[in-house]
Structure 1
Amino acid sequence: MLSEALLVSAPGKVILHGEHAVVHGKVALAAALNLRTFLLLRPQSNGKVSVNLPNIGIKQVWDVGMLQRLDTSFLGLSPTCLFARVTEQGDVSVPTLEQLEKLKKMGDLPRDRAGNEGMALLAFLYLYLAICRKQRTLPSLDMVVWSELPPGAGLGSSAAYSVCLAAALLTACEEVSNPLKDGVSVSRWPEEDLKSINKWAFEGERVIHGNPSGVDNAVSTWGGALRFQQGTMSSLKSLPSLQILLTNTKVPRSTKALVAAVRSRLTKELIDMNQHHLNALGVGHNSLDQLCQVTAAHGLHSKLTGAGGGGCGITLLKPGLEQATVEAAKQALTSCGFDCWETSIGAPGVSTHSAAAVGDPVRQALGL
């Protein structure tokens, strides 16, 4: 078990093309967003496991002894035969809804934690028990997670969270190596370790979303830009450096519900999809139409990113664009009640850092 503190981060994502088509076997193009989630893991000796998520006001503490009993008695399985088993081929078994419901009850999750908050705790508990099951005793640890990504906005915040959890827990339990060496401020895991991180992060995404495509966790793991189709990924090696204006309409949406609605429509009708295919699928929103109209008035082009139904949109900022135009567009969007960030895509994937390598807001949020 790792004895020193571990600081990891993972990026969010934007979908450039194929948000919903990817679920049905078509191509999606996704890029890592230069906004990140940070996780600080500190080993403890107090017999407790604590998770603090200040962005959404969650702090939960478990007794290791209670979790150890849960580990050995869950569904009547032995510690080496847990619900999240790894096959000889390295594949991770899928948790069933029945198992997750039992885990909710047996894991002592507070009843007032519903929706995304409760699922975030459940994802941690699932990955902690599954990854740490090979330890002689479950480790005592303190974990703080802070994010630059707004939750529920289509920017892959849950995937960045799951990737950070997987990377930190696998490293802490020495299932993957710790790539950060003395004198190095930022480092990344080798390819084989990234594959393991991605597999477990996908399981965390399953807990939160039910039937994710795997795009979000893959982009958060490897960074850069990916072409994704039917579970097969390939990196885009020649992605240009692109600046974007990212706008959050602050209209909440449920990825799970929107994906299910699209599937229902596809089984009932044939749609000749053109450049308005996302609206035709029913995943647009008045706020996104307003976003497109406002930016078009400034000569800019926008689209939704993620599941739609609200959430976020991206606006391409072409090279050579005058900053005055960008500022005018941001002011107009802000006056609509939206939040805006001027950022970029193609960020590096999951990484581990020295405390000195992150900025003051991150250090303050994580209590460094």
Structure 2
Amino acid sequence: MTNNDKSRIPKFYKYSVENRLDVLREKEILNQEDYVALREQMHLLTQNDADKMIENVIGVFGLPMGLGLNFLINNKPYVVPMVVEEPSILAAVSSAAKVVRNAGGFESESDDPILIGQIQLVDVRHPLKVRHAILQEKQEILNLANSLHPNMVKRGGGAIDLEVMIHQQDRHPGSMVVVHLLVDTRDAMGANLVNSMCEGVASLVEKLSGSKVYLRILSNLTDRAMVRSQCVIPTKFLDFNNSSGKEVRDGIIRAAEFAAIDSYRASTHNKGIMNGIDPLAIATGNDWRAIEAAAHAYAARSGRYTSLTNWYKNENGDLVGTIDIPLKVGTVGGSLKSNKAVGIAHRILGIESATELAEVMGAVGLAQNFSALRSLGTEGIQRGHMTLHARSVASTAGAPAELFEKVLERLVESGEIKVWKAKEIIEELKGEQKMAATGKIPLPDDDKDMSYGYGKIILTGEHSVVHGTHAVAAPITLKMKAKVWDHDKDVRLLIPRWGVEQTIEFGADHKYSIYKSLEMILDHLDLRDKPMNIEVFPEVPRAMGMGGSAALAVAIIRALDKHFELGLGDDDVRRLSFESENIVHGGASGIDNTVSTYGNLIMFQKGTPPKMETLSLKEPIPIVIGLSGVESMTSKMVKRVREQAEIFPQWYEKIFKQMDEIALASKEAIENRDLSQLGMIMNMNHGYLNTLGVSYPDVEELIEIARNNGALGAKLTGGGGGGAMIALCDSEKMQKRIQKKMHENGYDALIAEIKPSTP
């Protein structure tokens, strides 16, 4: 495996589209030109471009282009561009590729890129004589064909052989004789080339045979350009959900046997294979219809339609998967010039020849097949599709961010994945929230076993607080919840909503700070040798500047304390979660974990120990939290501000001093519930944050929406670079108006309030 492995981009799906492009550029998967083209959408077909490609153009139809990750094929890593509209395909193929990579990767081999041209002779009275006559002059026919395309011959291709097939005709006298012209098209798809060769030699074939030539056209059954891909997966890599590796292996084998003997099942089985191959074919500008035709014709070559893959157990008990499939593709031709997106896809993939592309395609098809059979053989594929569909339905129904996951869970459980049902569930949950807030109903049973940490918003003092000034922060109702239970071996972190199921490897070079942080916590509490499951149920949106990492640490520490009866106090939780924040963000101020631990509205100043004052508030203050949808990295923004402060210390010291005065003034405004003054302070604070360069266009749009719809004040909250903003309101009516406008502009928005602190 190469050391420069670009195909592994963990949690790529969690990034915004913009951040994904940034990552691809940093890894040099995209060059600067392609990065700009994708970011500015300059790669898309225009109507004029489309009008040159086909007839009767009226517009351009779009499809999503995504990436299949984790592929290791013939010991080379690949990032695989795929164009497809069906959800789950990219996630499924990337997950499968990761499993196979851990087992050593795919092996693929391919034949030369041979395309067959057919020349039809009908009503042949003496077919054997005709066959002999044509084969006698085979070289003359090949020479004529190659004279029509000398450049192809120079590239090592051209017409290489001739075959003559005889078919009996039932309705006409004589036989049908078909001449097969075998052409090596090298890196070209070759359809036009082969057709022109057939046209060019037709008169010579007529002369030699003494028979009439009719059709002269290529065949899309490209069984001379076969690809064979294989993977071998030990059962230790096959554990999936609640199924052991052996159970998964046996389930896949049984499902494959069904497809091998039943044509009805084989049709769906092979469609799943093409779910991987077709999107790559489209992305690379290949004729996916021809590829489909070849695959299905080959699957029926015995006279009975059957599976294109084979899954079985070898003598070591490993799962072995193979695919044999005709794949004639090209890497040069008109589509590359007429469609800019195709060129970008080729450069992302990094292939050097058509045969290499075909070998990648074969492995992608096998990976997609593995993923489908694994789901079918264990939990069933429908639940995964239901969840994806339910997400779309919940979003259409207007599920608020703080209820989204619960709406999703109840929607899937109901089996009625409909908008009306989602709206009904939303109203039920809102009613439960109101009753719980008044103490009229108990917490759900699930919550009783949970430990939690609060999410937070910062009212004044972001970034300057890292440099020793005051800041004011408040908890929000959204929490991180966690529970711990015993396990038979290892320490496992489970976050189902985020797709995390990770065994913690102590001492490893962790790529993600969450695992490094958890290792530190377990070491500190002397629990690293205790096998356990740590399950987290997140409510705080990820990477939105709302204290998610601190709340996660606090929830886990409290869950460990509860399960192992450690007797930790709030100060112990705060101190340990601060160490976690330092790992996650580097140079943390301590404000997030403090609010998350105590759950109170506080004035905070960094120190050892930090200065913390709980603020007095008689009535709640209504706010709206707007979510940009752009994930932000607090550590990145803190580092940027620190670097600038070191370059321009005299100016940044003045800015931090002004932000400190604003934070101190906000305390008085809050305790007097002077919302007008507090709103002005928030607006001023945001001005300084803009000066520090930590805001973001989407956040600015949300702030403008809030202020234009009556907000008393609006500002960025948290680290910036995306994330969230807060809008100060004077009534529930204003909250709803602002939330509605944010929703209309495509943003999630939460109605919340700053509550009086609990004693």
Q: Assess same fold via TM > 0.5.
A: yes
Q: Aligned match of 1:255 in 634, 650, 654?
A: 634
Cα deviation, residue 317, structure 1: 2.1
Q: Aligned match of 2:540 in 146, 149, 169?
A: 149
In structure 1, the partner of 2:751 is 342
In structure 2, the partner of 1:172 is 563
Cα deviation, residue 278, structure 1: 0.7
Q: Aligned match of 1:331 in 727, 735, 740?
A: 740
Contact 1:224 1:345 survives alignment (8 Å): no
Return the alpha-carbon distance in structure 2 between the equivalents of residues 129 and 198 of structure 1: 16
Cα deviation, residue 258, structure 1: 0.8
In structure 1, the partner of 2:473 is 30
In structure 1, the partner of 2:520 is 126
Return the alpha-carbon distance in structure 2 between the equivalents of residues 268 and 302 of structure 1: 30
Return the alpha-carbon distance in structure 1 between the equivalents of residues 644 and 596 of structure 2: 30
Which one-letter code corresponds to 1:315 in the other structure? A
Cα deviation, residue 211, structure 1: 1.6
In structure 2, the partner of 1:8 is 451
For these two proteins, the number of residue pairs brought into alignment is: 275
Cα deviation, residue 120, structure 1: 1.7
Q: Deviations over 1:184-236 (max 9, x none)?
A: xxxxxxxxx10111111111112211221111001100111111113223232
Contact 1:165 1:201 survives alignment (8 Å): no
In structure 1, the partner of 2:693 is 282
Return the alpha-carbon distance in structure 2 between the equivalents of residues 32 and 230 of structure 1: 18
Return the alpha-carbon distance in structure 1 between the equivalents of residues 532 and 736 of structure 2: 44
Return the alpha-carbon distance in structure 1 between the equivalents of residues 621 and 577 of structure 2: 27
Q: Aligned match of 1:234 in 599, 612, 625?
A: 612
Return the alpha-carbon distance in structure 2 between the equivalents of residues 138 and 259 of structure 1: 35
Return the alpha-carbon distance in structure 2 between the equivalents of residues 129 and 230 of structure 1: 25
Provide closer, same or farther for how the CA distance between residues 43 and 6 of structure 1 changes in structure 2, counting only shifts above 3 A.
farther
Q: Deviations over 1:102-158 (max 9, x none)?
A: x333xxx6xxxx5xxx2222222221233125xxx8222212101111111100000
Return the alpha-carbon distance in structure 1 between the equivalents of residues 541 and 732 of structure 2: 28
Return the alpha-carbon distance in structure 1 between the equivalents of residues 639 and 756 of structure 2: 30
1:212 aligns with 2:624: no
What's the Cα RMSD here? Answer: 2.3
Contact 1:154 1:312 survives alignment (8 Å): yes
Return the alpha-carbon distance in structure 1 between the equivalents of residues 464 and 508 of structure 2: 32
Contact 2:736 2:751 survives alignment (8 Å): no
Higher helix proportion? 2
Which one-letter code corresponds to 1:235 in the other structure? E
Q: Aligned match of 2:491 in 46, 49, 54?
A: 49
Provide closer, same or farther for how the CA distance between residues 54 and 347 of structure 1 changes in structure 2, counting only shifts above 3 A.
farther
Q: Aligned match of 1:267 in 626, 646, 650?
A: 646
Return the alpha-carbon distance in structure 2 between the equivalents of residues 175 and 326 of structure 1: 43
Cα deviation, residue 6, structure 1: 4.9
Q: Deviations over 1:59-101 (max 9, x none)?
A: 0135xxxx7xx5xxxxxxxxxxxxxxxxxxxxxxxxxxxxxxx
Q: Aligned match of 1:309 in 700, 721, 743?
A: 721
1:58 aligns with 2:500: yes
Cα deviation, residue 348, structure 1: 7.3
Which one-letter code corresponds to 2:551 in the other structure? A
Structure 1 length-normalised TM:
0.69
Contact 1:34 1:345 survives alignment (8 Å): no
Return the alpha-carbon distance in structure 2 between the equivalents of residues 164 and 347 of structure 1: 22
Return the alpha-carbon distance in structure 2 between the equivalents of residues 200 and 291 of structure 1: 35
Contact 1:37 1:147 survives alignment (8 Å): yes
Return the alpha-carbon distance in structure 2 between the equivalents of residues 247 and 310 of structure 1: 11
Give the match's secondary structure for 1:132: coil
In structure 1, the partner of 2:707 is 296
Contact 1:10 1:37 survives alignment (8 Å): yes
Cα deviation, residue 316, structure 1: 1.3
Unaligned regions of 5+ residues in structure 1, if any?
A: 71-102, 178-192, 350-368
1:243 aligns with 2:622: yes
Contact 1:170 1:197 survives alignment (8 Å): no
Return the alpha-carbon distance in structure 1 between the equivalents of residues 612 and 587 of structure 2: 21
Contact 1:43 1:142 survives alignment (8 Å): yes
Which one-letter code corresponds to 2:688 in the other structure? H
Contact 2:601 2:757 survives alignment (8 Å): no
Return the alpha-carbon distance in structure 2 between the equivalents of residues 202 and 22 of structure 1: 15
1:19 aligns with 2:428: no
Which one-letter code corresponds to 2:743 in the other structure? T
Larger Rg: 1 or 2?
Answer: 2
Cα deviation, residue 292, structure 1: 1.4
Structure of higher RCO (CA pairs closer than 8 Å, 6+ residues apart): 1
Cα deviation, residue 252, structure 1: 2.0
Return the alpha-carbon distance in structure 2 between the equivalents of residues 148 and 171 of structure 1: 21
Contact 1:244 1:344 survives alignment (8 Å): yes
Which one-letter code corresponds to 2:485 in the other structure? R
Which one-letter code corresponds to 1:244 in the other structure? I
Return the alpha-carbon distance in structure 2 between the equivalents of residues 131 and 13 of structure 1: 26
Give the match's secondary structure for 2:525: helix
In structure 2, the partner of 1:225 is 601
Contact 2:545 2:723 survives alignment (8 Å): yes
User: Equivalences for 1:29-108 in 2 at 5 Å?
Assistant: 29-44=472-487, 46-61=488-503, 103-105=507-509
Structure 2 length-normalised TM:
0.35
